[in-house]
Chains A and B, each alone.
Chain A
C-alpha cells in the first residue's frame, strides 16, 4: 500500500521558517515526480512546487518563488519543502503528492501550517 506522510507543520511567526517533510513507502520513490500542493482553510487547491524523479529539476508557483525550496532524498524516500520568509497568506494545509510531471495519483493527508503572531 502506498503511503505518503507529511510532517513538520505547525505555528510559526511571520517572517519565520519551517521545513516540511513527506515520507513515502510502498512505491519506488525514485521513479516519481513529487509535488507540494496547498489548500487554504475552506478554499481550493493551489499548486506550490514540483521536483523531478532524480531531483535535478524543480519549478515553483510565482507566489512562493525565492522563498520556498523543494528537495528530495531518494535514499531516504523523503521529500522536503523548506519555507522561508513566511507570510500570513501561506497559512494552509500542505499536501505532498506523487505521480508524473503533470498529475498526481497518490496524496498524503496533509500537514497544517499556520503563520501568525
Chain B
C-alpha cells in the first residue's frame, strides 16, 4: 500500500487560510468516507483534528475543516494562528481493510 500524497510544506500568514491536499486512489481516499487528519507538534504524539472526511472531535477549533473530492481530500485551516504550526498527516481506510497515512505536510505560520 503506497502512502497518500501530501505536499511536503505549506505556509501562510497569521489570519490567512491554508489548504493541505491529500491524494490517493479509488481504493482508499476516493472509495470511502474514512479520511482523517492528524496534527503533530515536534516531539509530541499526533492529535486527531478531523475524522470521516469532515467531522471535528470536540475541542478542535472550527477553524479546522475537511472535505473530499474524488481521490483528493483536503484540510483547510482558517484564521491561521501561531500554534497551528505543526506537521499534518492525512489517513484513509483502504480496500484491503488497512489504513494508510500520507507523507505529512509541514505547516509554517509566517
Interface residues of A (CB under 8 A from B): 35, 37, 44-47, 50, 59-62, 95, 97, 99-105, 107-110
User: Is the pair A45, B104 in contact by a Cβ cutoff of 8 Å?
Assistant: yes
Partner of A45, one of B46, B48, B57, B98: B46
User: Is the pair A47, B93 in contact by a Cβ cutoff of 8 Å?
Assistant: no
Residues of B within 8 A of A100 (CB): 51
Whether A103 touches B101, Cβ cut-off 8 Å, given contacts A61-B1, A95-B45, is no
> Which range contains the number of B residues in contact with the other chain?
20 to 34
Nearest residue, chain A, Cβ from B93: A102
Residues of B within 8 A of A37 (CB): 46, 101
Which residue among A44, A61, A100 has the maximum number of chain B CB atoms within 10 Å of its CB? A44
User: Is the pair A102, B34 in contact by a Cβ cutoff of 8 Å?
Assistant: yes
User: Is the pair A47, B91 in contact by a Cβ cutoff of 8 Å?
Assistant: yes
A-contact 0/1 string along B1-30, CB 8 Å cutoff? 101000000000000000000000000000
User: Is the pair A104, B48 in contact by a Cβ cutoff of 8 Å?
Assistant: yes
Residues of A within 8 A of B102 (CB): 44
Nearest residue, chain A, Cβ from B34: A102
Residues of B within 8 A of A47 (CB): 91, 98-101
Interface residues of B (CB under 8 A from A): 1, 3, 34, 36, 38, 40, 45-48, 51-52, 57, 87, 89, 91, 93, 96-104
Nearest residue, chain A, Cβ from B59: A105
Partner of B47, one of A35, A46, A62, A107: A107
Task: Name 6 interchain pairs, CB-CB below 8 A, sorted by A.
Answer: A44-B89, A95-B46, A99-B48, A103-B34, A108-B45, A109-B45
Whether A105 touches B57, Cβ cut-off 8 Å, given contacts A46-B101, A47-B101, is yes
Residues of A within 8 A of B91 (CB): 45, 47, 103
- A62 to B2, alpha carbons, bound, how many Å? 10
